């Protein structure tokens, strides 16, 4: 069985509008397949590391059975930004020539509001488990990074995950740490089935599946670190994730403790 996610590659043909609520200034764009996408730029603040985190965390979420818009590689031509009148956007487009990442645009989706929509404990527990695994600090009441589309819950925006790669790739120490930021997770009060989520996730996220997901990261996004080759960097991500999965009781217990303080 082929475990590797099969990402399509599209060419961006039209810049529609910036999405200013995003810290990295993502944009709504049209591609040559006539679909609209939310484009995450390699030239934005966190650079290609945000794209790496978005891709790895997103495809892990999909493997766990959670809903996520289709991820595609998005090619940005060097001539694309020449007609853009906004200087800030033009600079971003120029810095993002080449391969970027985009999510299929869910037209008509609304932001998840925990006061309006109740998430079942099984789903909430798996999302909390996922975010503890990939150390996603960005799923709070203030910024849920979830959408309701066709009455279903969809996850978006995982660029703030895997933050160990912003601190010298010191993966060994950080892979075994509890995820203390889970106390602010918007779904923690509903996550009453963390042990069941842990058991199921461990069955799904085998070494082979983690390696297959990480192998989809393009070499082009792994060239800003002169100490390691792209293959060596992929192995670091695999090591971090597999160690974290093997010691998941550390972050599960932290999440359970934080939940008790809330409920």
The rounded distance, in Å, linking the Cα atoms of 251 and 245 is 10
DSSP letters for 72-134? EEEEE-TTGGGG---HHHHHHHHHT-EEEEEEE--TT-EE--TTT-PPPHHHHHHHHHHHHHT
What parts of the chain have a pLDDT lower than 70? 1-2, 20-24, 80-84
What are the extents of the domains in the chain? 9-104, 111-262
Q: Cα 220–175–147 angle (5° rounding)?
A: 70
- What does the pLDDT look like over 217-230, one tens digit per residue? 999 999 877 789 99
Which pLDDT score, from 0 to 100, does residue 169 have?
A: 72
Which pLDDT score, from 0 to 100, does residue 81 have?
A: 63
> What is the DSSP-derived secondary structure letter of residue 41?
P
Place of tokens 């940005």: 76
The rounded distance, in Å, linking the Cα atoms of 100 and 89 is 15
Which pLDDT score, from 0 to 100, does residue 170 have?
A: 79
Q: Which two tokens stand for residue 155?
A: 């996850």
Place of tokens 């601190």: 167
């Amino acid at each position: 069985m082929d475990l590797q996610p099969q990402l399509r590659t599209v060419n961006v043909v039209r810049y529609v509008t910036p999405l200013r609520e995003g810290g990295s200034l993502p944009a709504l764009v049209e591609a040559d397949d006539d679909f609209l996408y939310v484009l995450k730029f390699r030239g934005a603040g966190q650079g290609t590391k945000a794209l790496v985190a978005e891709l790895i965390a997103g495809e892990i979420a999909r493997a766990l059975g959670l809903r996520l818009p289709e991820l595609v590689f998005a090619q940005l031509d060097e001539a694309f930004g020449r007609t853009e009148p906004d200087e800030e956007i033009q600079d971003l487009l120029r810095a993002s020539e080449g391969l970027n990442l985009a999510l299929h645009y869910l037209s008509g989706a609304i932001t998840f509001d925990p006061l309006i929509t109740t998430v079942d404990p099984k789903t909430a527990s798996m999302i909390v488990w996922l975010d503890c695994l990939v150390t996603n600090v960005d799923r709070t009441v203030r910024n849920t990074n979830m959408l309701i589309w066709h009455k279903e819950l969809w996850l978006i925006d995982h660029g703030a995950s895997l933050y160990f790669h912003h601190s010298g790739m010191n993966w060994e120490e950080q892979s075994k740490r509890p995820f203390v930021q889970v106390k602010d997770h918007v779904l923690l009060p509903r996550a009453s089935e963390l042990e069941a989520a842990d058991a199921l996730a461990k069955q799904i996220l085998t070494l082979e599946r983690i390696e297959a997901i990480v192998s989809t990261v393009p070499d082009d996004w792994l060239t800003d670190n002169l100490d390691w080759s792209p293959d060596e960097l992929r192995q670091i991500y695999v090591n971090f994730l597999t160690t974290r999965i093997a010691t998941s009781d550390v972050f599960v217990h932290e999440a359970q403790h934080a939940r008790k303080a809330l409920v």
